[in-house]
Amino acid sequence: MAFLYSSVGHAGASGYIAVMSLLGLLPAQIKPTALVLNVLVASITAWQFWRAGHFSWNLFWPFALLSIPFAFLGGYLTLPTHVFQIVIGIVLLLSATRFFVAPKGDTISHPPSRPVALATGAGLGLLAGLTGTGGGIFLTPVLLLKKWARTKTASAVSAVFILVNSVSGLLGSFTNARSLPQIALPLGVAALAGGVAGSYLGSRKFSQTLIKRMLAVVLVIAGLKLIFA
């Protein structure tokens, strides 16, 4: 999961959550563990894409500014979110079809306005905290479908977005639970290994079209996970 997700600038939380759910871990273990793995893999992924020259600070900060406190709020809250997750899952599946059917083109139409970026970031940060993800699974499709960024720039911005929101969501979760699951350590070692390989290939070797195809796979996994959680 870490290899696949990090190759498109993500950290893998939705994939980790799916696997841990199948293995029968308790919900109280799954969310903080996924966030820990997200922090580890997002750190590597953000560094690789930044080193390759794909990161844009001007695009990143308006989305991140309000997402961080809202991710903390989402991480702190424990809400019955089944219907909400089904809706988000369907949206992700619809987004995936766009990248499977028409992955061609890698152009920018116009950058988002400051108010739109701030409001979008706040909403995605809250989603990130509530779902135990870093929010990149939502941000990347928005950036690409709205043509606000090219593929690898979107991956780089999403990687840093995931990092800051995962840290914020983890702090919110820890403030509530006051502990971290012991299973996070061995899973973290495995996720780091996959993240190093995937982020290197995604930032330097894979083509734009291949990244979009892989992103579609990631969105399908995440969407199905949310729907059938």
Residue 36 has pLDDT above 60, yes or no: yes
Question: Would you say the pTM of this structure is higher than 0.95?
Answer: no
At 80 the pLDDT is: 65
Residues 6+ apart with CB under 8 A from 133: 13, 14, 17, 34, 38, 127, 162, 166, 222
Q: Give the least confident one: 96-105, 153-162, 195-204.
A: 96-105
